[in-house]
Amino acid sequence: MAMQTSVYLDYNATAPARPGVIDAISETLRLGAINPSSVHGPGREARKRVERAREQVAAMVGAEADQVVFTGSGTEANNLVITGSGHSRMLVSAVEHAAVLRTALTKAADCDVIPVLSDGVVDLAALETMLADDDTPTLVSVMAANNETGVLQPIADVVRIARAHGAKVHTDAVQAAGKIEIDFAAWDVDFMTLSAHKIGGPQGVGAVICRSRELLRPMVLGGGQENGLRAGTENVAGIVGFGVAAEMAAAEQADEALRLAALRDGMETALKAEAPHLKVVSDGAPRLPNTSCLTMPGVRNDTQVMAFDLAGIAVSAGSACSAGKVEPSHVLDAMGIADDEAVTAVRISLGEGSTDTHINSFVRAWLELWNRKGNSRTVAA
């Protein structure tokens, strides 16, 4: 039987709800029947709380409150942008999360994939050519930060190129929010996606930030909630939790980025010193401070994840968003990493609760496994 997990290094999959978030959610639920569409007192209290959260989420990303549309998840927010922005042509980067890639490939009448370079950064020259070749109104979708490798994309360059060709830009900032500074206004994108549970808020709450609500049409029809852009009674408690998480994450972001980068870099240095064959995927590219994608030569990632789990350490093989399935990573594939190397890559992602002790435990467990299963084979090969 697996030991209880004592070292959680899978924050990109989901972060534990912050204590302040849990308090705010339960306090809101305890208020009883509160529907923000009701005009009576309890309804007005609900509305007040939803609008406060809208301000908190907007403030985290340098947007205005009326640019925030709450949704039922980051996935739904991506779907809303892709189906609701009225573009028949889409260009999406090859390393997008499935919530963008699959949706665009399925729903857009015409969708092309923008390649990435070997370091995982989007190929800007290819984007330029793809836009120049076709003057159909286009939506370009390039994520702010990759969930598997942590690679940060050059959004300012993407916007500059897209604007020069009259295209609109969406960025999935689900992994970037709370980890790096985000300025929606300065980034000048048209749409941005956020998700509460990656920043210590509840699961099942997300948001689209849109330059103007006029740019979107609803995907879910019914009542007039969210200014007609997302029908359905609001998840008031969840939205309140998102707001509190956003405020806390924004307040800690700068200090946490430094602290987590030091822990992450220390871990990578310690492992490389003992295992020079190891590859830190995209270590030459700008990355999120909390993310490391590491290969263990000769040892499959499903074997690693199970061995770490037995040692009480939670990490993940690639993206954890596909219901526990370990499939070859389309992200590593797009970077030209061969399958036999890609299947040895594990993602370590740190967060608020990560400490020196956790990192030391992980380094010890990694080296122990590598010496037992990988090192001898690698050296003999």
Q: Annotated catalytic sites, by residue?
A: 321
Q: Does 143 bind ligand PLP (CB under 6 A)?
A: yes
Find the distance separating the first CA and the last CA of the chain, reported in whole Å.
34
* Residue 148 beta carbon to ligand PLP: minimum distance, rounded to whole angstroms: 9
Q: Residue 202 CB, nearest distance to ligand PLP (Å)?
A: 10
Asked if residue 174 binds ligand PLP (CB under 6 A), the reply is yes
Site for ligand PLP in 206-235 (CB under 6 A): 206
CB nearer to ligand PLP: pick between 319 and 375: 319
* Beta carbon of residue 172, minimum distance to ligand PLP (angstroms, whole number): 5
Nearer to ligand PLP (CB atom), residue 187 or residue 366: 187
Q: Count CB atoms within 10 A of the CB of residue 233.
A: 13
The answer to the question of residue 321 lying near ligand PLP (CB under 6 A) is yes
- By rule CB under 6 A, what count of residues binds ligand PLP? 14
Contact flag: residue 155 with ligand PLP (CB under 6 A)? no
Determine the interface stretch with ligand PLP among 86-94, 127-135, 167-175, 251-259 (rule: CB under 6 A).
Answer: 167-175
| Shortest Cβ 274–ligand PLP spacing (Å) | 30
Q: Decide if residue 238 touches ligand PLP (CB under 6 A).
A: no
Q: Are 90 and 237 in contact (CB under 8 A)?
A: no
State the residue number with the nearest CB to ligand PLP.
74
Instruction: Kindly state whether residue 175 participates in binding ligand PLP, applying the rule CB under 6 A.
Output: yes
Residue 316 makes contact with ligand PLP by CB under 6 A: no
Is position 28 an interface residue for ligand PLP (rule: CB under 6 A)? no
Asked if 317 and 305 count as a contact pair (C-beta separation under 8 A), the reply is yes
Nearer to ligand PLP, 172 or 226 (CB): 172
Which of 147, 225, 253, 304: binder of ligand PLP (CB under 6 A)? 147
* Contact region with ligand PLP (CB under 6 A), list: 67-75, 244-252, 268-276, 330-338: 67-75
Binding segment toward ligand PLP, per CB under 6 A, in 33-41, 71-79, 215-223, 325-333? 71-79
Taking the least distance from each CB to ligand PLP, the nearer of 179 and 300 is 179
Minimum Å gap between C-beta 48 and ligand PLP is: 25
Query: Phi and psi of 334, rounded to 5°?
Result: -65, -25
Residues 72-101 that bind ligand PLP (CB under 6 A): 73-75, 97, 99
Q: How far apart are CA 139 and CA 232, in angstroms?
A: 27
**Exposed/middle/buried for residue 164 (C-beta within 10 Å: 0-12, 13-18, 19+):** exposed
Residue closer to ligand PLP (CB basis): 147 or 301: 147
Q: Which has the closest alpha carbon to 283: 274, 294, 297, 275?
A: 294
Q: Which C-beta is closer to ligand PLP: that of 193 or that of 361? A: 193
d(CA 287, CA 152): 5
Amino acid letter at 105? L
Site pattern 185..204 for ligand PLP (x: CB under 6 A)? ----------x-x-------
Interface residues with ligand PLP (CB under 6 A) are 73-75, 97, 99, 143, 147, 172, 174-175, 195, 197, 206, 321
